[in-house]
Amino acid sequence: MANSTKKEAPLTLDIFTAGIWKENPVFVMMLGLCPVLAVTNSVENSLAMGLASIFVLVCSNALVSALRNFIPKQVRITTYIIIIATFVTLVDYIIQAISLDLYNKLGAFIQLIVVNCLILGRAEAFASKNSFTKSVISALGMGLGFTLALVMLGGVRELLGAGQLLGYQIFSLNFEPWVVMILPPGGFIVLGSWLLLINYFEQRKTGQLITQDSASHCTVSQPRS
């Protein structure tokens, strides 16, 4: 109840974009890594898992935010889990209705969205403290960021592991696929490589800023000496 009386920060574009890159759930917060490693052996699977996660994330955050003033603190986690499990069950039926092939490919990982800590984490850390609109926008950003990370992993793994992208042959048929890339170790290798690359560029950017900063100090101090 106290939450509603607190002054909320205004709705800004940053709420939406933070989840996509600056606070990306996979590359920055390292949340929900189980499906990230397990289902990203192709772009199709990555996209399907990403879209399913966006649906669950947006719907559960919306409902948690709408009911935040009515849910007693003592039963909030139980309530959030019920809400999340409901939407996961819905997405499970919907995927079966859309394509059985896709459902069989994703295996148990659709049901396992229930225990994806990204979803419960956002419900507890954001949706339960913010307005409906902000919660939905933030969830959409986080979901898109999660999907982006899944597709970035899936793209590299499918390209190197099968020479294809979205099922289309990219490399010539003489290309010998790196089978390890579509096996579980490939998930770790590609995730590690992306983290290395992203952190390298982040550090370089920070390094450049520091250099620029110290350089500007130098120019100011020169006339004095």
The window from 32-40, 47-55, 179-187, 196-204 that contacts another protein (CB under 8 A) reads 179-187
Taking CB under 8 A as the criterion, which residues in 27-56 touch another protein?
41
Neighbours of 10 (CB within 10 A): 7
Separation CA 141–CA 33 (nearest Å) = 18
136 is an interface residue for another protein by CB under 8 A: no
CA nearest neighbour of 3 among 133, 131, 151, 187: 131
Give the span between the Cα atoms of 26 and 34, in whole angstroms: 10
Instruction: Please give the helix or strand (H or E) that residue 169 lies within, else none.
Output: strand 168-169
Do 47 and 151 meet the contact criterion of CB atoms below 8 Å apart? yes
Asked if 107 interacts with another protein (CB under 8 A), we say yes
Tell me: does residue 161 bind another protein (CB under 8 A).
yes
Q: Examine residue 179 and tell whether it contacts another protein (CB under 8 A).
A: yes
Q: Which stretch binds another protein (CB under 8 A): 14-22, 45-53, 94-102, 217-225?
A: 94-102
Assess 9 for contact with another protein (CB under 8 A).
no
C-alpha–C-alpha distance, residues 128 and 76, integer Å: 9
- Positions in the binding site for another protein (CB under 8 A): 41, 67, 70-75, 78-79, 82-83, 85-86, 89-90, 93-94, 96-97, 99-101, 104, 107, 161, 177, 179, 182-183
